[in-house]
Amino acid sequence: MCPNYKSEMKLTQAIIDDFKAGKLDSFYHEAYPSLLTYAVRILTDGYAFLAEDCVQDCIFQSYQNRNRITDPISWKSFLYTTVHNSAISILRHHKAHENFLNTPKDDTDQDSSQLYIEQETLDLLYSAIEKLPEKYRAIFELSFEQGLSNPEIAEQLHLSVSGVKKQKSKMIQLLRSSLNNEAFIILCAFGIA
């Protein structure tokens, strides 16, 4: 899965300058194999097929923040941290999904209508999250999907801790508002409200 494996990624100022200018060939040649191998090691055999997604997400995030790249060492750290966080997020998501699917259900406790309502609720939540502005979706992902603390989020998004708390509070308000409106519509559709 990892052609041209290199034991160590050697980023140079020339690669940084090329990357900032939109020339990605030297970066891909030097960094991609190492990042891909790192992602495969974290994801293990069960999810190794998602390693390229982790690396592509990492490269995209790096490219979005290319003007903040100052030196090879911190950039390399950012790349590995981003791949690690992406891979861990995938593993957590799949673990939660497996736990949900493997939870024994007692037919007397849950009938099909309750399962339907649970699924609709999850769909509403995911829909509400998708409608959030980008900065709030990023906060949601880092906080609730990746499990990062407010200081870790602040560091990754280059915000103050109080700024993260304010944005997280606003994000929760937006989700509540969106969910209240959507839930009311569904209750009306079922003739409950």
Cα distance between the two ends of the chain: 54
Cβ pair 74, 27 in contact under 8 A: no
Between 38 and 182, the more confident residue is 38
- Angle between helix 51-64 and helix 72-102 axes, rounded to 10 deg: 140
Cβ pair 43, 50 in contact under 8 A: yes
Q: Which of 33, 68, 75 is nearest to 52 (CA)?
A: 33
Residue 108 predicted with pLDDT over 50: no
Please, what is the average pLDDT of the chain?
79
Cα–Cα distance list, 46 to 42, 75, 91 (Å)? 10, 29, 10
Averaged pLDDT for residues 111-122:
62
* CA-CA-CA-CA torsion sign (7, 73, 41, 29): negative
pLDDT tens digits, one per residue of 22-68: 898 999 888 888 888 888 888 887 888 888 999 999 999 999 988 88
Cβ pair 89, 141 in contact under 8 A: yes
